[in-house]
Structure 1
Amino acid sequence: MWQENNNLYASSSSQGQYYGQAGASQPGVPLQFYAPSPVGSTFYPASRSSLDGNVGAQGTISQQGAPAYGGNIQPAGGWWTAFGTGGLEGEPPLLEELGINFTHIRAKSLTVLNPFQRVDERIMDDADLAGPLLFIICFGTFLLFSGKPQFGYIYGVGLLGSASIYTLLNLMSEKGIDAYRVVSVLGYCLLPMVGVGALSVMVTLDGMVGYVLSILSILWCTWSASTIFVAVLRMSDQRLLVAYPVGLLYGCFALLSVFNVGANK
């Protein structure tokens, strides 16, 4: 018993001597086996220096002995940056991915506004409905401001007329055309009629001036649409046969712009 107590106290005294020597040898250090790393050294002393990398100011990551991978990070802009993909290289604009290309809309609109120029037969290879929808909405809005809410008639006449023109063109031509391009051509060629609808806000079209303007817009729209259809389908010998049903369709739109259809009297 006495020996066990002596051994216990002896071991305690030896441990105390050990910790005492450690504390005496290095004052200010809590434990001998723990040594704080100097400032600027790595956490693992055995880490390889070849893996130490530097991050550049523009997002360029480079390593010693390895090729650099660089890229520019675009700064955050205003709310309009949500409609583009300027921060991604090789990506088209977001509106173009949605089928809205203002360059194509402008080119096709200028073709309609200048019907006497030569039309490229490949003008409708990249057909779209963004421009036609814009023109139809503007036409209905102008008629609404003039006291003629005709949205239902506009969509009904446009749908029935487009289906009829599509059927006739595929029966008359050998090449054929799809309904998407038919609607695109008819919608773009509605642009002169949109101008008449804008005039109806300021001038009453139920008179001689309105009749003359409506007839001129019908002829303009019919000439432009028939020119594009003839150029695309190569039907130059059937120009009048194409223009006749197209003129009837635009005549319905002119009646909607002159008269208040369905008005209570």
Structure 2
Amino acid sequence: MGAQGSMRPQGGGPAPAYGGNIQAQGPWWTAFGTGGFEGEPPLLEELGINFSHIRGKSMTVLNPMSRIDEHIMDDADLAGPIIYVFCFGMFLLLSGKPNFGYIYGVGLFGSMSLYVLLNLMSERPIDAFRVTSVLGYCLLPMVGVSAVSVMVTLDGMFGYLLSFLSVLWCTFSASGIFVSVLQMSDQRLLVAYPVLLLYGCFALLSVFDGTSTAK
């Protein structure tokens, strides 16, 4: 009787139909938030979206002269690259260049090509997710160029110079992260060359209208 009485809640209400302790989970609308219940990881963390990591990797790209941590890509998230690719395509769309198909095609082909080349050049293997993550984060300077193209026409000397500088910025950041992660600093120029070609294609999409036809 003592054991059964201890299972009854205070106030004389009916005892629960199952054993164990009941933990307060908060109001019902907690299930629709991003914080999650008490003792459980947040919803964004379960989905692989960590804004602190996205901010840290973005700052590494924006400050390529700083020391790059070789463990920066231990969590190869694709949330940041997806956001940047989407912003890149939207800015081009607002500037009259609907090149979503070209962006996805060039990005997919470039990521797969770099994945094969890096695994052939390096003794340490690298998976395709990390290659795609690095290339996506280092697209950030090119996103800035596409934002400028909404207000200013880049088909001129200013646009060519701005695109050239952004390609160098993207290449320097991506090659620095790759050689730091793979520990192949002696081969940085060999890594930078195919990366330069890839971001050069994105620069062409920013400057020229891929949907226009020659008359």
Q: Specify the alignment match of 1:8 in structure 2.
A: none
Q: Specify the alignment match of 1:132 in structure 2.
A: 81
Residue by residue over 1:131-158, the C-alpha shift from the partner in whole angstroms, topping out at 9 and shown as x without a partner, is 1111111100100000000000001111
Among 100, 106, 119, which residue is 1:151 paired with? 100
Q: Specify the alignment match of 1:74 in structure 2.
A: 26
Asked if 1 retains the 8 angstrom alpha-carbon contact of 2:76 and 2:133, the reply is yes
Code of the aligned partner of 1:201: V
TM-score (norm 2): 0.89
Q: Specify the alignment match of 1:243 in structure 2.
A: 192
* Whole-angstrom distance in 1 between the partners of 2:50 and 2:144: 22
How far residue 69 of structure 1 moved from its aligned partner, in angstroms, is 4.2
SS in 2 for 1:92: coil
Q: Does 1:55 align with 2:9?
A: yes
* Whole-angstrom distance in 1 between the partners of 2:111 and 2:104: 10
How far residue 83 of structure 1 moved from its aligned partner, in angstroms, is 4.1
Asked if 1 retains the 8 angstrom alpha-carbon contact of 2:175 and 2:192, the reply is yes
- Cα root mean square deviation, aligned: 2.1
SS in 2 for 1:138: helix
* Whole-angstrom distance in 2 between the partners of 1:121 and 1:99: 20
Between the two structures, name the one with larger relative contact order (CA 8 Å, sep ≥ 6).
Answer: 2
Among 178, 183, 188, which residue is 1:229 paired with? 178
Code of the aligned partner of 2:177: I
* Whole-angstrom distance in 2 between the partners of 1:125 and 1:119: 13
Look at both structures and tell me which one has the larger radius of gyration over its CA atoms.
1
TM-score (norm 1): 0.73
Aligned pairs, number:
207
Code of the aligned partner of 1:73: Q
Code of the aligned partner of 1:71: Q
Question: What fraction of aligned residue pairs are identical, expressed as a percent?
Answer: 67
Residue by residue over 1:72-124, the C-alpha shift from the partner in whole angstroms, topping out at 9 and shown as x without a partner, is 3312447xx524353241x2111211121111111111111111110010111
For structure 1, the 5+ residue unaligned runs are 1-47, 62-67
How far residue 52 of structure 1 moved from its aligned partner, in angstroms, is 3.6
Code of the aligned partner of 2:27: P
1:166-177 matched pairs, under 5 angstroms:
166-177=115-126
* Whole-angstrom distance in 2 between the partners of 1:56 and 1:250: 67
